[in-house]
């Protein structure tokens, strides 16, 4: 089955990858993956009120956070999660079961990140599931350091019943509690209120269990990602976000492949770092 570039919402273009193993869709805007359909279900959550507009991040799917995660460490006026999720990427390659989107440094990117780089987002749909690889290549004459994240929103029947495995005994920074560092005690971590945690030195895999009504299980594998973020804004914060309001918050949980803070990545000239997340619908 061919991989195609077609019109999407509000005239934005998207790449559609269709195989016998599943379907994925990736918008050029932010190189944001907005669909993965496999095993008869939609695995990825996208907000019904998301902005599909040039210059704006898509709410849901898999936004790409780069070259930093969260607020900029030195200048809070710079955009949250960097700029890669809010600009249009080029399509470098389309083949059966695979697409490659690309973003190159230029005058605009150097205003906020004064280094030369090449980003490639490689999406593959196969019998192994959905594989997403974010390649960062340093094309600058000096080393640079960056943070990144594949900020994946997973569809769930109700986040209040979700349990996430693979985090026990790992230290995490709890941003809801002001950044206090704790250690996870649960074999399968529950979410019972606003959750915003960075788990350190986690290499997976993680499983997302939705036990109500025999809900689905999704397995998340990571490579070259030192941290895992677990996030849901819960009711009050979600209703304050124009692109997430409407009581949609129970329908997703974010389990993210991340490199940030102490685990940020330094790449030498000519070097490439690849953060990989592979998703299986079980």
Task: Report the catalytic residues.
Answer: 151, 256
Contact 66, 80 (CB under 8 A): no
Q: Is 268 exposed, middle or buried (0-12, 13-18, 19+ CB in 10 A)?
A: exposed
* Planar angle of CA 18, 203, 143, nearest 5 degrees: 90
Q: Where are the alpha helices (DSSP H) in the chain?
A: 107-110, 234-239
Q: Tokens 């918008």 map to which residue?
A: 27
Question: Cα separation of 54 and 86, whole Å?
Answer: 7
Contact 232, 251 (CB under 8 A): no
Name 182's Cβ contacts closer than 8 Å, sequence gap at least 6.
Answer: 171, 172, 174
Peptide bond preceding 282 in cis form (omega within 30 of 0): no
How many other CB atoms are found less than 10 A from the CB of residue 129?
22
Question: Cα separation of 235 and 151, whole Å?
Answer: 20
* Planar angle of CA 24, 28, 31, nearest 5 degrees: 70
Contact 121, 61 (CB under 8 A): no
Contact 165, 187 (CB under 8 A): yes
């Amino acid at each position: 089955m061919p991989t195609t570039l077609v019109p999407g919402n509000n005239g934005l273009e998207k790449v559609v990858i269709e195989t016998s193993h599943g379907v994925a869709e990736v918008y050029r805007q932010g190189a944001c993956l907005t669909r993965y359909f496999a095993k008869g279900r939609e695995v990825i959550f996208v907000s019904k009120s998301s902005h599909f507009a040039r210059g704006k991040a898509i709410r849901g799917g898999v936004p790409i956070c780069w070259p930093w995660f969260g607020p900029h460490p030195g200048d809070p006026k710079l955009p949250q999660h960097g700029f890669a999720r809010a600009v249009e990427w080029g399509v470098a390659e389309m083949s059966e079961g695979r697409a490659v989107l690309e973003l190159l440094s230029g005058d605009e990117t150097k205003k906020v990140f004064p280094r030369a780089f090449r980003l490639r987002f490689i999406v593959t749909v196969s019998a192994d599931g959905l594989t997403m690889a974010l390649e960062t290549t340093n094309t600058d004459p000096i080393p640079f350091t960056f943070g990144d994240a594949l900020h994946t929103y997973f569809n769930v029947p109700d986040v209040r019943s979700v349990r996430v495995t693979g985090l026990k005994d790992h230290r995490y920074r709890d941003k809801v509690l002001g950044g206090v560092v704790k250690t996870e005690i649960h074999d399968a971590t529950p979410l019972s209120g606003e959750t915003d945690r960075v788990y350190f030195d986690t290499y997976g895999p993680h499983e997302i269990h939705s036990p109500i009504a025999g809900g689905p299980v999704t397995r998340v594998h990571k490579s070259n990602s030192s941290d895992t973020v677990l996030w849901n804004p819960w009711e009050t914060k979600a209703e304050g976000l124009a692109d997430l309001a409407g009581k949609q918050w129970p329908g997703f949980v974010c389990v993210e492949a991340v490199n940030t803070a102490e685990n940020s990545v330094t790449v030498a000239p000519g070097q490439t770092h690849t953060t990989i997340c592979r998703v299986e619908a079980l």
